[in-house]
Every structure is written in C-alpha cells, then in structure tokens.
Structure 1
Amino acid sequence: MEDFNSYFRSAFLNKKIIITGGTTGIGRAAAILLSALGSRCLICGRHQQQLDETLNVIDPGRNDTCMGLVVDLASKAGIKKLFEVADQQLGGVDILVNNAALPFGSVLEGEYDDWQYVLNTNLLSYIACSKEAVSRMGEGGQLILMGSMSADVREADSSLYVATEAAIQGFATALRKEVNPKGLKVSLIEPGAVDTDLQEGSSKDKLEQIERQEMLKATDIAWAIAFCIAQPPRSDVVNLQIRPHMQLI
C-alpha cells in the first residue's frame, strides 16, 4: 500500500457525509472525528440546542466543515427535507451514516402510537434514508448502519428495541447484496454498551462503568466508523461487533 498517512487522509478528504442522529452520542462523536479528518458533514437531530452545541464544537466559524438541520426522521417530510438540504448544501452524498435511534422497552409498555414512532425512527428512517442515498451515490459510495448487539443478545424488557435492531441486521445483509454490484458498500456496526443517551443511568454510573471497562465511549464507535470508511475498494467491513472488554455476554 502507498504511504499510509496519505492514503488515510485521502479516504476522508472532501467526502460528503450525512450523519443522522448527529447531534448527540455516537453521531456527534462521528461528526467531530470525520470533520477533523477532512470530510464535509451534514448532521441532523430533533433539538435545536443540541444541534447548535455540536456545530459550535465542530465548526464555530461556520465554514461549511459541518452543517446541520433540525428534523424528525420519523416522518416522510423529515426525510425529504434532509435530502433536499443535502442536495443544496453538500451537492450530493458519498457516505450515509444511519444512526438515529430511540430507546424503548417491552411491547407490554406503551401504546401503538408509541411503538409506531420508534419503528419509524429506528427502522423506517434507515430504509428510507438508504434508498435516498443510494439514488444519489456514484461508485465508491458507502452506507454505514448503526445497529446494536441487542439484535443477537435479545435481552428481556427490550422487545420492541430488539425487534428494530434485528430488522436492521437483516436489512443490512440483504441491502449489501443489492447494492454491491453497483460499486457501493454496506457496513453494519453493532456496539455493546456505549455511554450515550440511549443508556440508562447517571453520568457518574456510566463513568464508573467506563473505568471498569464495562462501557465504551462514543468516540470508540466513531473510530469504528472511520475504520469502515478507510478500507480500500477491494475490502468491505460487512459486520463489525464492538463491545467493552468486560461486557461478557
């Protein structure tokens, strides 16, 4: 391989990247890292304050290193708006990081409308955003889907969330078979416990779990995303499972 530093930089330089759920947690960490590596990112989230805080960290001078919008991807209108802004501000998309997600417990809790909102966010937004991205991508494009170890562990009291993550796992496998002949890559990342707002517990408890190597930081998953992107054209990271050293499940 040619000089590693040159190759690594070229994998990210001026890449047009959409990151859903990009204002908190893993999405925020990914936006910070990928922007620093030279990519142009468009992030979205549901809350203006979180968006502003993230943009102020990444691009305080608003030099188009990272752009963003407030949008709810549980709706068709929200997805349409995201890609209209991507066309206008990025001029297309090279990489989509599907990351927007909501936590939820058992189907014995909540009502139909609650379940529908979670399904729309956690699953249908992945499907719809993938379709929109593929229609805009040329050869060398990539879709990165953020899943969860819950797809395999299938813990009790999380049946609705488990259903969405298992569906994402199946979707990623089938989608790769559909788009690889077009020169596009699909990577599924399935983290274990990560210090994000999807995890219950106080900040103090989470820090203690990180110290005990029972929980990852969002930056750990951001580097996993970068690892997938940095692969040469001949190499696909198909499914990357990453867990804390002491999360023995």
Structure 2
Amino acid sequence: MENLANYFNQYINQKRIVVTGGTTGIGKAIAELLVSLGGRVIIFGRDENDFNHAMEDIKTKSSSGEIYGVTADITSKKDIDLVWDKVDSLLGGIDIVINNAALPARGIIEGDYDDWKYILETNILGYIAFAKEAVNRMKEQKSGHIVNIGSMSAEVKEKTGVIYVATKTAIRGFSTALRKEINPLGIKVSHVEPGAVTSDMQPDPKEVQEEKIEKMEMLEAEDIAMSVLFCLSQPKRCDIVSMQVRPHLQII
C-alpha cells in the first residue's frame, strides 16, 4: 500500500464536510482531524463560547484545510437553514456529513416532557433533518457519505439512561434503513457506535475520566475520530456499514 498519509489524504483533501456538534468532544476531534488532511469543514454548535474556542483551536493546530462555522441549534429549522446556506455559499456543495450533535439523557423518572422533547429533537430529528438536506445535494452528484455517530447504549440498554438509549437505538435503525434507501443513489452510510468516551457528557469529573483512560476503561475523542476516518477512507466499492469501538476493558 502507498504511504498512509497520502492514502488518507486522497479521500479527505478538498472534500466539503459538515460536522454537527463539531465544537466539543468527538465532533471537534473529527473536525480537527479532517481539516489536518485538507478537508474544507464547517462546524456548528449551540454554545457560543464552545464554538469560538473550537474555531480558534482548530485554526491554530492546522493550516492544511479550511475551517468555517456558525453558532446554531440543530433543533431550530431556521438555524438548520442557516448552516446549509453557509454550506452552499462557502463550500459550493457537500461530500461528507458527520451527524454527531447529541445530548445526554437519563432515566424516565427524571426530567419532563419539555426536556425529552428537546433531547429527541436534537438526538433524532437533527440527524434526520441533516441527512435529508445532504441527500438533496448528494443525489445530484451521485456521491457522498453520511456518518451517523451512535452509541453502545443502543446495545447495552442501561437502565440509568432510558431516554438516551431510546435516541441511540433510533439512530441505529435509522442508519440501517437509510443506507438501503440511498445507496442506489451512490451515497454511503456508516454508523459508528462508541463505548465510553471522555467528554462533557460524562458524569465523572475530568480527573476521574483521565484515570479511566489510563486504566483502558475509557476512550479519547481522537480514537473515534480515527475510526470515522477509516470509514471515510475506503474505495467506492467498499462500505464500512457499522462499527463498534469500545475501551479495551469496557466489557459489554
């Protein structure tokens, strides 16, 4: 095989990419990696401070690609339209969508209707809405790739995260059915399910998360970014349909 740097670069360089929830955690790590390989990337998130920090950090670390973005909430149709207006005007189209924006949620005893509605609109409807807009554009060029970031919660179905489990189980089914619908259009769909990953979504403080990483009980966001890159870096004939990525000692 040719030099690996060149191998990955050919699949990412100058590709037009959107990463939803790209301002923190897994999304930011994915955006940073793809920009470093020459990708033209748009990120967005709902928190302005997180957005500004992510933009500055990514720009500082790499000048190979391009990074753009906007503060936006994926539950807002107006904000979704704003992001796609930027995609069309700044990138001139789309090649890759990373559906990643999601919120944590606990059991059904906690929370109320309005909390759940916002979480479902973020974790499920946001994925569907962005996939729809991507497909509208990708079908014209008969190519593209949608990567849906799910969670091992869809398999474990822990009792402490009933609402989150419901959303990530939905994403598992959505990804499977979506691939059947749009593969004939030349569009790939990959579904990546991380295990425990260090992030602001974790209930443990940063110090405890770092200890778990050392003990091989937790992944870093960069581990998932590399897994996504593997999905994106396959020849047209090859689809990575589903991938589960777990810490070595997270026994599920």
Q: Identity over aligned residues, as a percent?
A: 48
Q: CA deviation at 1:3?
A: 5.7
Q: In 1, distance between residues paired with 2:20 and 2:13?
A: 20
Q: CA deviation at 1:91?
A: 1.2
Q: In 2, distance between residues paired with 1:202 and 1:153?
A: 23
Contact 2:30 2:222 in 1 (8 A): yes
Contact 1:75 1:120 in 2 (8 A): no
Q: Quickly say closer, same or farther: Cα 1:60–1:212, change in 2 above 3 A.
A: closer
Which residue of structure 1 lines up, in the alignment, with residue 7 of structure 2? Answer: 7
Which 4+ residue blocks in structure 1 deviate beyond 2 angstroms? 1-8, 60-64
Query: RMSD of the TM alignment (CA)?
Result: 1.6
Whether 1:184 aligns to 2:187 is yes
Contact 2:35 2:62 in 1 (8 A): no
Q: Which amino acid aligns with 1:154?
A: K
Match of 1:219 among 208, 222, 244: 222
1:83-127 Cα distance to aligned partner (Å, 9 max, x none): 111111111110000000000101221111110000000000000
Q: In 2, distance between residues paired with 1:49 and 1:60?
A: 17
* Superposition pairs of residues 51-130 of structure 1, within 5 angstroms: 51-60=51-60, 65-130=66-131
Q: In 1, distance between residues paired with 2:123 and 2:166?
A: 10
Contact 2:36 2:62 in 1 (8 A): no
Q: In 1, distance between residues paired with 2:219 and 2:16?
A: 27
Secondary structure of the residue aligned to 1:7 is helix
Q: Which amino acid aligns with 1:110?
A: G
1:21-55 Cα distance to aligned partner (Å, 9 max, x none): 00000000011110001101000001111111111
1:174-201 Cα distance to aligned partner (Å, 9 max, x none): 0000010011100000000000111111
Aligned residues: 249
Q: In 2, distance between residues paired with 1:84 and 1:57?
A: 24
Which residue of structure 1 lines up, in the alignment, with residue 44 of structure 2? Answer: 44
Which structure has greater helix proportion?
Answer: 2
Q: Which runs of 5+ in 1 are unaligned?
A: none
Q: Which amino acid aligns with 2:47?
A: H
Q: In 2, distance between residues paired with 1:62 and 1:248?
A: 36
TM-score between the two structures when normalised by the length of structure 1: 0.96
Secondary structure of the residue aligned to 2:146 is strand
Which residue of structure 1 lines up, in the alignment, with residue 30 of structure 2? Answer: 30
Whether 1:202 aligns to 2:205 is yes
Match of 1:146 among 137, 146, 149: 149
Contact 2:16 2:39 in 1 (8 A): yes
Q: CA deviation at 1:134?
A: 0.8
Which residue of structure 2 lines up, in the alignment, with residue 131 of structure 1? Answer: 132
Q: Which amino acid aligns with 2:77?
A: K
